[in-house]
Amino acid sequence: MALRLFLRSHLISNKCPLRVPQRLSHFTFVPDTVPASEGETQRMNLFQAINNSIDIALSTDPTAVVFGEDVAFGGVFRCTVGLQEKHGKSRVFNTPLCEQGIAGFGIGVAAAGSTAIAEIQFADYILPAFDQICNEAAKYRYRSGGIYDCGSLTIRTPCSAVGHGAVYHSQSPEAFFAHCPGLKIVVPRGPIKAKGLLLSCIRDKNPCLFFEPKILYRSAVEQVPVKDYTMPLSKADVLIEGDDITLVGWGTQVHVLREVCQMAKDQLNVSCELIDLVTILPWDKETIAQSVRKTGRLLIAHEAPLTNGFGAEIAASIQNECFLNLEAPVERVTGFDTPFPHIYEPFYLPDKWRCFDAVKRLVHY
Protein backbone atom coordinates (compact mmCIF):
# COMPACT_ATOMS: atom_id res chain seq x y z
CA MET A 1 0.00 0.00 0.00
CA ALA A 2 2.82 2.41 0.86
CA LEU A 3 4.46 1.76 -2.51
CA ARG A 4 1.19 2.38 -4.35
CA LEU A 5 0.61 5.65 -2.53
CA PHE A 6 4.15 6.80 -3.33
CA LEU A 7 3.78 5.94 -7.02
CA ARG A 8 0.41 7.67 -7.28
CA SER A 9 1.73 10.75 -5.48
CA HIS A 10 4.73 10.91 -7.82
CA LEU A 11 2.63 10.50 -10.94
CA ILE A 12 0.05 13.06 -9.91
CA SER A 13 2.54 15.67 -8.71
CA ASN A 14 4.62 15.35 -11.86
CA LYS A 15 1.66 14.84 -14.23
CA CYS A 16 3.79 12.04 -15.65
CA PRO A 17 2.07 8.97 -17.11
CA LEU A 18 3.78 5.64 -16.94
CA ARG A 19 5.59 4.97 -20.20
CA VAL A 20 6.71 1.72 -21.77
CA PRO A 21 10.36 1.60 -22.87
CA GLN A 22 10.24 0.42 -26.47
CA ARG A 23 13.56 -1.39 -26.19
CA LEU A 24 12.08 -3.79 -23.65
CA SER A 25 9.33 -5.09 -25.94
CA HIS A 26 9.58 -8.85 -26.46
CA PHE A 27 7.51 -8.73 -29.65
CA THR A 28 6.99 -6.77 -32.85
CA PHE A 29 3.57 -5.16 -33.16
CA VAL A 30 1.88 -5.72 -36.52
CA PRO A 31 -1.07 -3.34 -37.01
CA ASP A 32 -4.49 -4.44 -38.17
CA THR A 33 -6.12 -2.59 -41.04
CA VAL A 34 -9.72 -1.82 -41.95
CA PRO A 35 -11.29 -1.60 -45.43
CA ALA A 36 -11.99 1.81 -46.97
CA SER A 37 -15.70 1.14 -46.50
CA GLU A 38 -15.23 1.75 -42.76
CA GLY A 39 -14.88 5.45 -43.54
CA GLU A 40 -12.54 8.03 -42.05
CA THR A 41 -9.72 6.75 -39.86
CA GLN A 42 -7.33 8.42 -37.46
CA ARG A 43 -3.92 7.34 -36.20
CA MET A 44 -4.37 6.17 -32.62
CA ASN A 45 -2.40 4.14 -30.15
CA LEU A 46 -4.17 1.79 -27.75
CA PHE A 47 -4.82 4.28 -24.96
CA GLN A 48 -6.13 6.86 -27.44
CA ALA A 49 -8.50 4.29 -28.95
CA ILE A 50 -9.78 3.43 -25.48
CA ASN A 51 -10.20 7.13 -24.69
CA ASN A 52 -12.12 7.59 -27.94
CA SER A 53 -14.35 4.62 -27.13
CA ILE A 54 -15.22 5.96 -23.68
CA ASP A 55 -15.81 9.43 -25.14
CA ILE A 56 -18.33 7.97 -27.59
CA ALA A 57 -20.02 6.03 -24.81
CA LEU A 58 -20.38 9.17 -22.69
CA SER A 59 -21.64 11.18 -25.67
CA THR A 60 -24.26 8.64 -26.76
CA ASP A 61 -25.47 7.48 -23.35
CA PRO A 62 -26.47 10.25 -20.92
CA THR A 63 -26.54 7.76 -18.02
CA ALA A 64 -22.91 6.66 -18.50
CA VAL A 65 -20.36 7.55 -15.81
CA VAL A 66 -16.63 6.89 -15.54
CA PHE A 67 -14.90 6.46 -12.20
CA GLY A 68 -11.75 5.05 -10.63
CA GLU A 69 -8.47 6.05 -9.06
CA ASP A 70 -7.12 9.23 -10.71
CA VAL A 71 -9.36 9.01 -13.79
CA ALA A 72 -10.35 12.68 -13.42
CA PHE A 73 -6.88 13.86 -14.43
CA GLY A 74 -6.53 11.17 -17.09
CA GLY A 75 -5.27 8.16 -15.18
CA VAL A 76 -1.70 6.91 -14.96
CA PHE A 77 -1.87 5.64 -18.55
CA ARG A 78 -3.88 8.66 -19.85
CA CYS A 79 -6.86 6.55 -20.98
CA THR A 80 -9.36 9.07 -19.60
CA VAL A 81 -7.45 12.27 -20.32
CA GLY A 82 -9.71 15.20 -21.25
CA LEU A 83 -12.96 13.37 -20.50
CA GLN A 84 -13.82 15.22 -17.30
CA GLU A 85 -13.25 18.57 -19.01
CA LYS A 86 -15.60 17.53 -21.83
CA HIS A 87 -18.31 15.67 -19.92
CA GLY A 88 -18.20 17.22 -16.47
CA LYS A 89 -17.19 16.34 -12.94
CA SER A 90 -20.46 14.55 -12.26
CA ARG A 91 -19.77 11.98 -15.00
CA VAL A 92 -15.99 11.46 -14.79
CA PHE A 93 -14.67 11.43 -11.23
CA ASN A 94 -12.08 9.98 -8.90
CA THR A 95 -12.68 7.36 -6.23
CA PRO A 96 -10.76 6.47 -3.08
CA LEU A 97 -8.01 3.88 -3.36
CA CYS A 98 -10.40 1.00 -2.69
CA GLU A 99 -10.96 -1.60 -5.40
CA GLN A 100 -13.73 -3.34 -3.49
CA GLY A 101 -15.48 0.00 -3.18
CA ILE A 102 -15.04 0.79 -6.88
CA ALA A 103 -16.60 -2.54 -7.89
CA GLY A 104 -19.39 -2.26 -5.32
CA PHE A 105 -20.19 1.29 -6.39
CA GLY A 106 -20.25 0.17 -10.02
CA ILE A 107 -22.70 -2.60 -9.22
CA GLY A 108 -24.99 -0.09 -7.52
CA VAL A 109 -24.78 2.38 -10.41
CA ALA A 110 -25.64 -0.34 -12.94
CA ALA A 111 -28.40 -1.84 -10.78
CA ALA A 112 -29.97 1.62 -10.53
CA GLY A 113 -30.21 1.80 -14.32
CA SER A 114 -27.12 3.76 -15.34
CA THR A 115 -24.09 2.64 -17.34
CA ALA A 116 -21.04 2.16 -15.13
CA ILE A 117 -17.53 2.29 -16.61
CA ALA A 118 -15.07 1.58 -13.80
CA GLU A 119 -11.28 1.54 -13.88
CA ILE A 120 -9.08 -0.58 -11.64
CA GLN A 121 -5.68 1.09 -11.91
CA PHE A 122 -3.74 -2.18 -12.30
CA ALA A 123 -5.14 -5.69 -12.79
CA ASP A 124 -2.79 -6.87 -10.04
CA TYR A 125 -4.94 -4.93 -7.56
CA ILE A 126 -8.32 -6.19 -8.75
CA LEU A 127 -8.29 -9.04 -6.24
CA PRO A 128 -9.69 -6.98 -3.33
CA ALA A 129 -12.75 -6.56 -5.60
CA PHE A 130 -12.97 -10.30 -6.35
CA ASP A 131 -15.87 -10.86 -3.95
CA GLN A 132 -17.90 -7.96 -5.33
CA ILE A 133 -17.26 -9.01 -8.95
CA CYS A 134 -17.79 -12.77 -8.60
CA ASN A 135 -20.29 -13.04 -5.75
CA GLU A 136 -22.34 -9.93 -6.49
CA ALA A 137 -21.98 -8.64 -10.06
CA ALA A 138 -21.85 -12.04 -11.76
CA LYS A 139 -24.75 -13.48 -9.75
CA TYR A 140 -27.03 -10.46 -9.33
CA ARG A 141 -29.45 -11.37 -12.13
CA TYR A 142 -29.48 -15.07 -11.21
CA ARG A 143 -30.14 -14.71 -7.50
CA SER A 144 -32.94 -12.21 -8.05
CA GLY A 145 -34.67 -14.51 -10.51
CA GLY A 146 -34.14 -12.02 -13.31
CA ILE A 147 -35.85 -9.16 -11.46
CA TYR A 148 -32.65 -7.14 -11.03
CA ASP A 149 -29.31 -7.02 -12.80
CA CYS A 150 -26.11 -4.98 -13.03
CA GLY A 151 -25.43 -5.84 -16.66
CA SER A 152 -24.47 -2.29 -17.59
CA LEU A 153 -21.20 -2.58 -15.68
CA THR A 154 -17.82 -2.65 -17.40
CA ILE A 155 -14.57 -2.80 -15.44
CA ARG A 156 -11.41 -1.83 -17.34
CA THR A 157 -7.96 -2.63 -16.07
CA PRO A 158 -4.35 -2.64 -17.40
CA CYS A 159 -2.76 -6.09 -17.31
CA SER A 160 0.23 -8.22 -18.26
CA ALA A 161 3.95 -7.60 -18.68
CA VAL A 162 5.30 -4.13 -19.31
CA GLY A 163 9.07 -4.59 -19.19
CA HIS A 164 9.68 -3.27 -15.69
CA GLY A 165 6.52 -3.90 -13.66
CA ALA A 166 7.83 -6.68 -11.39
CA VAL A 167 5.59 -8.64 -9.08
CA TYR A 168 2.76 -6.11 -8.52
CA HIS A 169 2.40 -4.50 -11.95
CA SER A 170 2.76 -7.35 -14.45
CA GLN A 171 0.22 -10.05 -13.68
CA SER A 172 -2.43 -11.56 -15.96
CA PRO A 173 -5.34 -12.59 -13.70
CA GLU A 174 -7.93 -13.42 -16.38
CA ALA A 175 -8.15 -17.11 -15.39
CA PHE A 176 -9.21 -16.24 -11.83
CA PHE A 177 -12.42 -14.74 -13.19
CA ALA A 178 -12.96 -17.25 -16.02
CA HIS A 179 -14.26 -19.73 -13.43
CA CYS A 180 -17.23 -17.46 -12.68
CA PRO A 181 -20.42 -17.81 -14.78
CA GLY A 182 -22.16 -14.51 -15.42
CA LEU A 183 -19.12 -12.47 -16.48
CA LYS A 184 -17.71 -11.63 -19.89
CA ILE A 185 -13.94 -11.27 -20.14
CA VAL A 186 -12.24 -9.57 -23.09
CA VAL A 187 -8.59 -8.88 -24.02
CA PRO A 188 -7.84 -6.73 -27.12
CA ARG A 189 -4.72 -7.08 -29.28
CA GLY A 190 -4.62 -3.53 -30.70
CA PRO A 191 -6.37 -0.16 -31.01
CA ILE A 192 -8.97 -1.11 -33.66
CA LYS A 193 -10.14 -4.10 -31.65
CA ALA A 194 -9.92 -2.20 -28.36
CA LYS A 195 -12.29 0.56 -29.46
CA GLY A 196 -14.90 -1.76 -30.93
CA LEU A 197 -14.72 -4.36 -28.18
CA LEU A 198 -14.86 -1.81 -25.37
CA LEU A 199 -17.99 -0.22 -26.84
CA SER A 200 -19.48 -3.72 -27.15
CA CYS A 201 -18.71 -4.40 -23.47
CA ILE A 202 -20.15 -1.07 -22.34
CA ARG A 203 -23.38 -1.74 -24.26
CA ASP A 204 -23.62 -5.44 -23.41
CA LYS A 205 -26.22 -6.31 -20.79
CA ASN A 206 -23.83 -8.48 -18.78
CA PRO A 207 -21.03 -7.36 -16.46
CA CYS A 208 -17.77 -7.29 -18.42
CA LEU A 209 -14.09 -7.29 -17.49
CA PHE A 210 -11.91 -5.56 -20.07
CA PHE A 211 -8.22 -6.39 -19.63
CA GLU A 212 -5.89 -3.99 -21.47
CA PRO A 213 -2.28 -5.16 -22.10
CA LYS A 214 -0.44 -2.14 -20.81
CA ILE A 215 2.66 -2.66 -22.95
CA LEU A 216 0.44 -1.95 -25.98
CA TYR A 217 -0.83 1.42 -24.74
CA ARG A 218 1.82 3.33 -26.70
CA SER A 219 3.59 0.66 -28.76
CA ALA A 220 0.41 -0.42 -30.62
CA VAL A 221 -0.58 2.16 -33.27
CA GLU A 222 -3.22 1.69 -36.00
CA GLN A 223 -5.50 3.67 -38.28
CA VAL A 224 -8.71 3.46 -36.27
CA PRO A 225 -12.15 4.32 -37.68
CA VAL A 226 -13.41 7.51 -36.05
CA LYS A 227 -17.05 6.44 -36.23
CA ASP A 228 -19.03 4.70 -33.53
CA TYR A 229 -18.67 0.93 -34.06
CA THR A 230 -18.80 -2.30 -32.08
CA MET A 231 -17.24 -5.74 -32.55
CA PRO A 232 -18.69 -9.14 -31.62
CA LEU A 233 -17.84 -10.64 -28.27
CA SER A 234 -17.15 -14.38 -27.89
CA LYS A 235 -15.87 -14.61 -31.46
CA ALA A 236 -12.23 -15.54 -32.08
CA ASP A 237 -10.29 -14.11 -35.03
CA VAL A 238 -8.32 -16.29 -37.46
CA LEU A 239 -5.45 -13.94 -38.32
CA ILE A 240 -3.28 -16.28 -40.39
CA GLU A 241 -4.59 -19.40 -42.09
CA GLY A 242 -2.41 -22.52 -42.03
CA ASP A 243 -2.48 -26.29 -42.36
CA ASP A 244 0.03 -27.81 -39.93
CA ILE A 245 -0.34 -26.28 -36.44
CA THR A 246 -2.92 -24.09 -34.69
CA LEU A 247 -1.49 -21.33 -32.47
CA VAL A 248 -3.83 -19.64 -29.97
CA GLY A 249 -3.18 -16.56 -27.85
CA TRP A 250 -4.75 -13.30 -26.72
CA GLY A 251 -3.59 -9.76 -26.05
CA THR A 252 0.15 -9.20 -26.41
CA GLN A 253 0.81 -12.89 -26.99
CA VAL A 254 -0.92 -12.72 -30.37
CA HIS A 255 1.97 -10.60 -31.65
CA VAL A 256 4.55 -13.00 -30.25
CA LEU A 257 2.83 -15.89 -32.02
CA ARG A 258 2.66 -13.95 -35.27
CA GLU A 259 6.46 -13.90 -35.31
CA VAL A 260 6.50 -17.61 -34.50
CA CYS A 261 4.32 -18.29 -37.55
CA GLN A 262 6.90 -16.62 -39.76
CA MET A 263 9.81 -18.42 -38.06
CA ALA A 264 8.07 -21.78 -38.54
CA LYS A 265 7.50 -21.02 -42.22
CA ASP A 266 11.05 -19.83 -42.88
CA GLN A 267 12.99 -22.40 -40.84
CA LEU A 268 10.74 -25.49 -40.79
CA ASN A 269 8.52 -25.04 -43.82
CA VAL A 270 5.59 -25.42 -41.41
CA SER A 271 2.28 -23.66 -42.01
CA CYS A 272 0.76 -22.24 -38.81
CA GLU A 273 -2.79 -21.04 -38.29
CA LEU A 274 -2.90 -18.12 -35.84
CA ILE A 275 -6.04 -17.46 -33.76
CA ASP A 276 -6.69 -14.54 -31.41
CA LEU A 277 -9.14 -15.84 -28.81
CA VAL A 278 -10.33 -12.23 -28.12
CA THR A 279 -12.88 -13.26 -25.47
CA ILE A 280 -11.85 -15.42 -22.54
CA LEU A 281 -15.40 -15.92 -21.30
CA PRO A 282 -17.58 -17.11 -22.96
CA TRP A 283 -14.85 -18.35 -25.32
CA ASP A 284 -15.18 -19.40 -28.95
CA LYS A 285 -14.59 -23.16 -28.74
CA GLU A 286 -15.90 -23.92 -32.22
CA THR A 287 -13.41 -21.73 -34.11
CA ILE A 288 -10.47 -23.38 -32.37
CA ALA A 289 -11.90 -26.89 -32.71
CA GLN A 290 -12.53 -26.36 -36.41
CA SER A 291 -8.91 -25.27 -36.87
CA VAL A 292 -7.48 -28.20 -34.88
CA ARG A 293 -9.56 -30.70 -36.87
CA LYS A 294 -7.71 -29.35 -39.90
CA THR A 295 -4.18 -29.03 -38.48
CA GLY A 296 -4.10 -31.85 -35.92
CA ARG A 297 -1.84 -29.87 -33.59
CA LEU A 298 -2.45 -27.12 -31.04
CA LEU A 299 -0.18 -24.70 -29.18
CA ILE A 300 -1.64 -22.29 -26.61
CA ALA A 301 0.47 -19.45 -25.20
CA HIS A 302 -0.28 -16.95 -22.43
CA GLU A 303 1.66 -14.90 -19.90
CA ALA A 304 -0.19 -16.18 -16.82
CA PRO A 305 1.30 -19.17 -14.94
CA LEU A 306 0.91 -22.68 -16.33
CA THR A 307 -1.15 -24.35 -13.61
CA ASN A 308 -4.85 -23.58 -14.06
CA GLY A 309 -4.12 -20.89 -16.64
CA PHE A 310 -6.90 -20.51 -19.16
CA GLY A 311 -4.84 -22.54 -21.61
CA ALA A 312 -5.63 -25.59 -19.48
CA GLU A 313 -9.35 -25.16 -20.15
CA ILE A 314 -8.74 -24.80 -23.89
CA ALA A 315 -6.47 -27.86 -23.92
CA ALA A 316 -8.98 -30.03 -22.03
CA SER A 317 -11.88 -28.93 -24.22
CA ILE A 318 -10.02 -29.47 -27.50
CA GLN A 319 -8.76 -32.87 -26.35
CA ASN A 320 -12.39 -33.80 -25.74
CA GLU A 321 -13.68 -32.33 -29.00
CA CYS A 322 -10.83 -33.28 -31.33
CA PHE A 323 -9.19 -36.36 -29.79
CA LEU A 324 -9.25 -38.43 -32.97
CA ASN A 325 -7.84 -35.53 -35.00
CA LEU A 326 -4.83 -34.81 -32.79
CA GLU A 327 -1.41 -35.82 -34.14
CA ALA A 328 0.39 -34.71 -30.96
CA PRO A 329 -0.43 -33.72 -27.37
CA VAL A 330 -1.60 -30.14 -26.90
CA GLU A 331 1.32 -27.85 -26.02
CA ARG A 332 1.11 -24.93 -23.58
CA VAL A 333 3.79 -22.24 -23.40
CA THR A 334 3.16 -19.89 -20.49
CA GLY A 335 4.60 -18.00 -17.59
CA PHE A 336 6.04 -20.16 -14.83
CA ASP A 337 4.41 -21.15 -11.53
CA THR A 338 6.27 -18.43 -9.64
CA PRO A 339 5.57 -14.82 -8.72
CA PHE A 340 6.22 -12.52 -11.68
CA PRO A 341 9.94 -11.62 -11.50
CA HIS A 342 11.63 -8.29 -12.14
CA ILE A 343 15.13 -8.81 -13.55
CA TYR A 344 14.22 -12.32 -14.76
CA GLU A 345 11.18 -11.16 -16.73
CA PRO A 346 12.77 -12.02 -20.13
CA PHE A 347 13.13 -15.63 -18.97
CA TYR A 348 9.63 -15.77 -17.49
CA LEU A 349 7.73 -14.61 -20.55
CA PRO A 350 6.56 -17.10 -23.22
CA ASP A 351 8.66 -15.40 -25.88
CA LYS A 352 8.99 -16.41 -29.52
CA TRP A 353 11.93 -18.71 -28.82
CA ARG A 354 10.07 -20.77 -26.23
CA CYS A 355 7.03 -20.90 -28.50
CA PHE A 356 9.15 -21.87 -31.49
CA ASP A 357 10.68 -24.75 -29.50
CA ALA A 358 7.14 -25.94 -28.77
CA VAL A 359 6.31 -25.80 -32.48
CA LYS A 360 9.33 -28.02 -33.19
CA ARG A 361 8.19 -30.51 -30.53
CA LEU A 362 4.74 -30.65 -32.09
CA VAL A 363 6.12 -31.15 -35.60
CA HIS A 364 8.54 -33.91 -34.57
CA TYR A 365 6.26 -35.75 -32.15
Which residues participate in catalysis according to the annotation? Answer: 99, 169
Q: Calculate the alpha carbon distances from 195 to 48, 85, 98 in Å.
A: 9, 21, 27
CB 346 within 8 A of CB 164: no
End-to-end CA distance of the chain: 48
What are the helix and strand counts (H, E) for the chain? 14, 14
- CA 296 – CA 322 distance, rounded (Å): 8
Tell me which long-range contacts 2-9 makes (C-beta under 8 A, separation of at least 24): 3/168, 4/97, 4/125, 5/97, 8/69, 8/70, 8/76, 8/97
CB 70 within 8 A of CB 119: no
CA-wise closest residue to 224 among 186, 190, 200? 190
- Report H helices in 15-150: 46-60, 83-87, 99-111, 130-131, 140-143
Amino acid of residue 318: I
Cβ neighbour number for residue 345 with a 10 Å cutoff: 19
CB 194 within 8 A of CB 212: yes
> What's the residue count for the chain?
365
CB 212 within 8 A of CB 53: no
DSSP 262-291: HHHHHHH---EEEEE--EEET--HHHHHHH
- CA 14 – CA 202 distance, rounded (Å): 32
b (16+ CB within 10 A) / e for 318-339: beebbeeebeeebbbbbbeeee
